[in-house]
Amino acid sequence: MDKNIPQLTESVGFLLQRLEDQLVGDREALTQIRFPRKFIRTRSYYEKSVWFLQSDNLRKNIAYTLQVNDVNLWVMTRFDLRGPAESLLVKQATITIVSIVEAILQGVWTQERLGRTSHPRFQQLISATVKRFELPDALEAALHAQRQFRNQVHFHTVREPEWNRYSFQDYRGAVATLYDLLHALSDAYQRLAP
């Protein structure tokens, strides 16, 4: 890492605070700071990771959502947030990743005709995909753990205050599960290819 990064980081933080101090009281002021280029990966980069999905629309929508995830990742790793804002940003980013997992499983369900219903529950998607592709027990357990995490999107079911409840480790766990699923399905579809 460049030895000037800490000083540059401090300067950027100072200037952002100075800008915000100028805008105090006007939360609706349209002042857009240019997002750093080259951090958000391209749609085609992400589409390659879900090549096995037959639906062009689904591949594109997953790729677009992964681009938004790059923004979430940038904010989580570049800003010094604290308290509920940090915790709930992590929750939001993690739920986004788990929603991508669910979309992938739904795409597999549909193209493989794994069941009779067109709107299966997340739990059914996991069980059917694990059975069809003989996915490892550890991946199945991780998928179910992420499903349970995602269910916390429903505020009325969360039984305790969410203050500092979620950490970056929760997000990293969801990302690891997503990539484990992508690798397992990619390998399985490569084996099935004629």
**Residue ranges per structural domain of the chain:** 37-192
Alpha helices by DSSP H, listed for the chain, are: 5-23, 43-49, 56-78, 83-112, 122-133, 137-150, 168-192
Can you read off the two tokens belonging to residue 55?
Answer: 């639906």
Tell me, which fold does domain 37-192 have in CATH?
Four Helix Bundle (Hemerythrin (Met), subunit A) (1.20.120)
Other Cβ atoms within 10 Å of 166 Cβ, number: 22
Per-residue model confidence (pLDDT) at position 142: 98
Per-residue model confidence (pLDDT) at position 13: 93
**Tens-of-pLDDT digits for all 194 residues of the chain?**
688 999 999 999 999 999 988 888 777 888 889 999 999 999 999 999 999 999 999 999 999 999 999 999 999 999 999 889 999 999 999 999 999 999 999 999 999 999 998 899 999 999 999 999 999 999 999 999 999 999 888 888 888 888 888 999 999 999 999 999 999 999 999 998 87
Q: What distance in Å separates the CA atoms of residue 133 and residue 121, rounded to the nearest whole number?
A: 18
Q: What distance in Å separates the CA atoms of residue 51 and residue 188, rounded to the nearest whole number?
A: 12
Per-residue model confidence (pLDDT) at position 23: 86
- How remote is the C-alpha of 17 from its chain's centroid? 29
pTM, entire model: 0.92
Q: What distance in Å separates the CA atoms of residue 110 and residue 112, rounded to the nearest whole number?
A: 6
In degrees, to the nearest 5, what angle opens at C-alpha 100 toward C-alphas 190 and 91? 140
For residue 135, the SS3 value is coil
Cβ contacts of residue 163 below 8 Å, gap of 6+? 83, 84, 87
Between the alpha carbon of residue 65 and those of residues 60, 72, 98, the distances in Å are 9, 11, 11
Between the alpha carbon of residue 176 and those of residues 92, 101, 113, the distances in Å are 16, 11, 27
